[in-house]
Amino acid sequence: MKGYIVRNPKLAWREVDGEMVIISPEDSQVHELNETASLIWKHADGRSLEEIAERISTEYEVSLEAARADIGELVTTLEQKQLVFVATEVKG
Amino acid sequence: MAKTPVMDGLISRTVERHLPWSVHVDLTYRCNERCIHCYLDHEDHGEMKTDEIKNVLEQLAQSGTLFLTLSGGEIFLRDDLFELLEFARSLHFDISLKTNALLIDAERARKLRALSVRRIQISIYSAEPAVHDAITKVRGSLERTLTAIRFLQAEGLQVKIACPLMKQNLMAYRNVQALAAELGVPYVLDMTITPKMDGDMSLLQLRNPAQDLLPILQDPTLNPPSSSQDSAQEAPLTTGSATSSGIESQAYEDIPCSAGHNSCYISPYGEVFPCVQMPVATGNLRQQRFEEIWFKSPEMERVRAVRESQLPVCSKCSIRQYCERCPGLAQMEGGDLLGAYERACDLAELKAGLAGVQNPISALHAQKPNTKGLCSIPSLVATPAVQAGSN
Ligand code: SF4
Ligand code: SF4
């Protein structure tokens, strides 16, 4: 799994009962993430997607392939909503 | 914040769990205007220092606060404002500001944008300089405030106009409404004038008698039928307090409002209250940790235990649905957090009359044999009720 993921730094967020609530300051849009998406969000500090897949695989006791597939879809959604950015390389 | 199913669900959860997710912090009571209706004393009696405020913000973030409103006094009189904003941003708060905007120039607007401040609420009393400036007691203040709004808009920041209404500017709501439309910003009319913090009631003389508010309560542009309101949009008018959190929800059910349930107020001196408009001291952050006050203060628990269905007078009121009783004002004006108070009753009777209720009379007035319901105008064409302002 390629790429590095980072949260959109403009957003405001807080965890409520294990789920992330995110607000965009530009349009006041409120987003609520499910448990897995919240986990991705928490780790989206510039680390690699592969590392996050490994964590999810361990935490939920699922195969690495299944974790990768789950993450792939969720990351695409988060990216489309401009909640995260995915880069192919880490910028030095 | 707009009412949406997601927000409603979140509000219910935060209320159930007593998460302090909306907190209003006044950074100073000092101000560069002298508004005639202001309840503050404008002195510095020992404001929290930069590090103390940062510590409070850290505690709030840990406790689950998402919505942070910074207000005053005039926040731009704090030299450390941008340092505090930067710190708040690093803690991922959703940040709203309340300011008179006199000290906002293009450079400061740019910085606010860079710090992802979501909303800036600015008071405007009239689109006519003579009326606005007579209320702020600063000549040229309307012009300066409008210039600042344009700087903020040029940066793409969300501005909201708040227009407190008093005798001096009652009908100015129309030109403020037009001004907001011209600027393309939402606005809120606020009919609440509160006593001074020290209990001095003289400011209440500035209040419009309830009957004088009829044109506003009947104005169809302020009372659109609910079916035509886009639920994702901000309703154009709330009659609650401009000082409150701005979060409204049906999730509150049997509790009077958000105060002490999922929101609270912190003064420049570190005092914690359930709401800026509720003078019930619950503790001081200079002596105690936030969570200790929030979860354990007996006063906070007392406020939290109030249920509308158990209010001694109001629970028996036949026009309750038209009433926007604020428990804080009940305490300030009637001396009882659980009680009814004249102003709420007068307004509720007016609204009930407008909605077609025959001889509306509040439970408080019904108890007093010589008091008639203020409003007996069933012949007036009914207009939809003004949106409830309690939050
Ligand atoms: S109803 Fe009154 S006490 Fe309650 S949140 Fe609103 S202003 Fe505060
Ligand atoms: S109208 Fe008066 S008595 Fe009735 S609910 Fe409101 S404050 Fe209480």
Domain of A81: which CATH number? 3.90.930.60
Range with the poorest average pLDDT among B21-25, B47-51, B224-228, B276-280: B224-228
Of A39, A51, A26, give the one whose Cα is nearest residue A78.
Answer: A39
Which of B68, B70, B118 to mutate to probe the A interface, most A CBs <10 Å?
Answer: B118
Q: Look at residue A58 and tell me if it is in a domain.
A: yes
CA distance B156 to chain A (A): 8
On chain A, the residues whose CB falls within 8 A of the CB of B93 are: 12
B363 lines ligand 2 (CB under 6 A): yes
Give the domain extent around A43.
Answer: 4-87
Q: Is residue A44 part of a domain?
A: yes
Among the partner-chain residues B14, B117, B118, the one whose CB lies closest to the CB of A23 is B118
Q: Is A32 helix (H, G, I), strand (E, B) or coil?
A: strand
Residues A14, B13: C-beta atoms closer than 8 Å: no
pLDDT (0 to 100) of residue B224: 60
The C-alpha atoms of residue B71 and residue B254 are separated, in whole angstroms, by 29
ipTM over 0.95: no
What pLDDT is recorded for position A76? 94
CB distance B345 to ligand 2 below 6 Å = yes
**Chain A contact for B170 (CB, 8 A cutoff):** no
Starting at the earlier edge strand, list the strands of the sheet with B94-99.
B187-190, B158-164, B119-123, B94-99, B67-71, B22-26, B263-266, B271-273, B283-284
Residue among A10, A13, A21 minimizing CB distance to B10: A21
pTM: 0.89
pLDDT of residue B376: 36
The per-residue pLDDT for range A54-73, each reduced to its tens digit, is 999 998 899 999 999 989 99
Predicted local confidence at residue B32, as pLDDT: 96
The model's confidence at residue A1, banded by pLDDT at 50, 70 and 90, is confident
Q: What percent of chain B has pLDDT over 70?
A: 86
Residue B199 confidence class, pLDDT cut points 50, 70, 90: confident
Could you tell me the pLDDT band of residue B4, with boundaries at 50, 70 and 90? confident
Q: Which of B305, B317, B187, B193 is nearest to B256 (CA)?
A: B305
The confidence band for B241, taking pLDDT boundaries of 50, 70 and 90, is very low
d(CA B21, CA B61): 9
Residue from B257, B309, B314 to probe ligand 2 pocket by mutation (most atoms less than 8 Å from CB): B314
Distance from CA of A63 to the nearest CA of B (A): 32
**pLDDT at res. B379:** 28
**Is 50 exceeded by the pLDDT of residue B382?**
no
Q: Is B5 on the interface with A (CB under 8 A)?
A: no
Q: State in Å, rounded, how far the first CA of chain B is from the last one.
A: 11
- Asked whether residue A37 is assigned to any structural domain, the reply reads yes
Cα B78 to Cα B63: distance, rounded to the nearest angstrom = 25
Integer Cα distance of B47 and B39 in angstroms: 17
Per-residue confidence at B2, pLDDT binned at 50, 70, 90?
A: low
B66-70, B207-211, B244-248: range with lowest mean pLDDT: B244-248
pLDDT at B168: 97
- Probe site for chain A from B16, B66, B158, B234 (most A CB atoms < 10 A): B66
The confidence band for B31, taking pLDDT boundaries of 50, 70 and 90, is: very high
CA–CA separation, B299 and B306 (whole Å): 11
Q: Would the CB of B257 count as within 6 Å of ligand 1?
A: yes
B384 pLDDT more than 90 = no
Q: Of all atoms in ligand 1, which is nearest to the CA of residue B278?
A: 3
Q: What pLDDT was estimated at residue B370?
A: 57
Interval B106-134: pLDDT, tens: 999 999 999 999 999 999 999 999 999 99
Decide if A60 is inside a domain: yes
Helices (H), B48-199: 50-63, 81-90, 106-114, 129-136, 141-154, 173-183
At B7 the pLDDT is: 83
**Is B319 a pocket residue for ligand 2 (Cβ < 6 Å)?**
yes
Is B13 within 8 Å of A23 when comparing Cβ atoms?
Answer: no
**Partner A contacted by B65 (CB < 8 A):** yes
Q: What's the domain count of chain A?
A: 1
Q: Does B4 touch chain A (CB under 8 A)?
A: yes
Q: Give a yes or no: residue A92 inside a domain.
A: no
